[in-house]
Each structure stands twice: as structure tokens, then as C-alpha cells.
Amino acid sequence: MALVGPLLELRGIGKSYGPVTALEGVDFDIGRREVIGICGDNGAGKSTLIRILSGAEQPSGGEIRVNSEAISFRSPADALARGIATTYQDLALAPRLSIAQNVFMGGELLRGPKFLGMLDHRRMRDEAALYLDRFGFADIDMGRPVSDLSGGQRQAVALARALRWKARIVIMDEPTAALGVAESRQVLELIRRLRSEGVTVIVVSHDMDDLVAVTTRVVILKKGRKVGEIETARVTSGRLGEMIMSGVVA
């Protein structure tokens, strides 16, 4: 396995739905421990790109490489097995289930003979607490239903599930949408913590301030094409907004 070079490479990724082209020839690389932003106006192709990277959809053309190895995902389970986890805008959580149950959904811990498939509830609660502790939420009861949690806490649960899958790449779709100021700050801090733990993060957001605050680089899409990318240290949120509108990156 190559450890030099980009962690994730996209080459000529395209996606068509019948006559409609949602993505066309999108190329970019993502390095290890990088926090990269993907932005663009409505219809730019951000959601389609996420769905392709998360295995929810297959591209019509192009190639995805992880550690220089060409891969194709037929389902979200394939992407998870490759260490790519996605947290969605609606967080894809089951509100009535507990924090621990949400963290371990699809990766349950078992006790006793494996063929019986008996759940190890205690170990799942204990380990979920360890994951949440990494995001500064150590004092929450892991048996609490997710519906009782704040938006920031729910993001932490979604991220804990991603870490549970030992994800090397976490894709976050609109992580601060519908959150208050304090909760948004909490989520940006979660992203920084992920990076400090060696996880590569892809943030898709409409919020330019958030992208400038937390990412190292931003890829700009317009009408299904990549129009450019820019290091966030060189740009303000206002300028980034102008680039999205004009489609000119300079």
C-alpha cells in the first residue's frame, strides 16, 4: 500500500441521469490529514459527488483511487469497508434508538458464541462513551435516545459512528446546517479534533465562513464541473462567495 501521494484521487468523475448531466470530468486529490471543502451553488453537483464517494451511487464515468488503488463502490457498505464514512445533513440517525445503538448500527458488538449473534449492550455503551469522549461529550448517558440530543451532540454521534468504522476519510454533508451559532462552533471543533486524530475530512457546505474557518483547501463546483480550487489561507469568505457566483477562481 502506497503511503506517499494523495490518499484519495478523483479522475474524470461524471454522473448522468438519462439526458441530465449532474457531474462531468471532476478531478481532484485529497491528502492525508487534510480538511478539504467542497462548495458550489445549488445544482453544482455537490450532493451527487458525495453520494458517489459514499457508495450510495455509482459514477457514470471516471475513476476513484484510494492509496493509488482504483476502487469502485457498489454500496455504502463497500465505502465503509474502504474506510470512507459519510455523515449526512439529516445525520442518518434513528432518533428513537439510543446513542450507543446509533454509534454501533451496522457494526454491532457481540458476546458469546458468534452464531447466536447476541448483542453486547454493555460493551457498546462503554465503547460509545469512549468515542463521544473524544469529542468532549463524556458525560452523556449512552442509553439516551438521540431525539433528546442537541444538533451538535447529534453530529458527534454521527462522527462517532464514522470513527467506529475506523474511517480514514470522513465526508460531512452540510454539518452546520440548521444549527445555532454555539452548536456550529462545537461542530467545527469536532472537525478540528478529527483532523488532529489523523482523519481526512471532506466538508460540503454552503457556509463560506465555516469553510474558511476549518478547511485547508476548497474545491469549487459549478453546474457539475470543477471550476477550480484554492487554499483557504489565501481567501476570505466574501471572496469565496464571489468565486462560486462567477465560476472564476483566481
**Contact positions vs another protein (CB under 8 A):** 54, 56, 75-77, 80, 86, 88, 92-97, 101, 105-108, 110, 116-119, 161
Distance between CA 119 and CA 38 in Å, rounded?
38
CB 192 within 8 A of CB 214: yes
Residue 158: DSSP 8-state? H
- CB nearer another protein, residue 109 or residue 249: 109
Indicate the residue type of 3. L
The set of cell numbers assigned to 146 is 438521540
Q: Shortest gap between Cβ of 228 and another protein (angstroms)?
A: 30
- CB nearer another protein, residue 98 or residue 232: 98
Distance between CA 38 and CA 141 in Å, rounded?
34
Distance between CA 168 and CA 201 in Å, rounded?
8
Dihedral Cα 140, 141, 147, 148, nearest 10 deg: -60
- CB nearer another protein, residue 110 or residue 249: 110
Q: Shortest gap between Cβ of 94 and another protein (angstroms)?
A: 4
Q: Shortest gap between Cβ of 87 and another protein (angstroms)?
A: 9
Q: Shortest gap between Cβ of 242 and another protein (angstroms)?
A: 34
Q: Shortest gap between Cβ of 151 and another protein (angstroms)?
A: 16
Distance between CA 21 and CA 249 in Å, rounded?
22
Residue 151: DSSP 8-state? H
Element (H, E) at 84: strand 84-87
- CB nearer another protein, residue 108 or residue 242: 108
- CB nearer another protein, residue 89 or residue 237: 89
Indicate the residue type of 62. G
Q: Shortest gap between Cβ of 49 and another protein (angstroms)?
A: 16
Coil/strand/helix, residue 230: strand
- CB nearer another protein, residue 96 or residue 192: 96
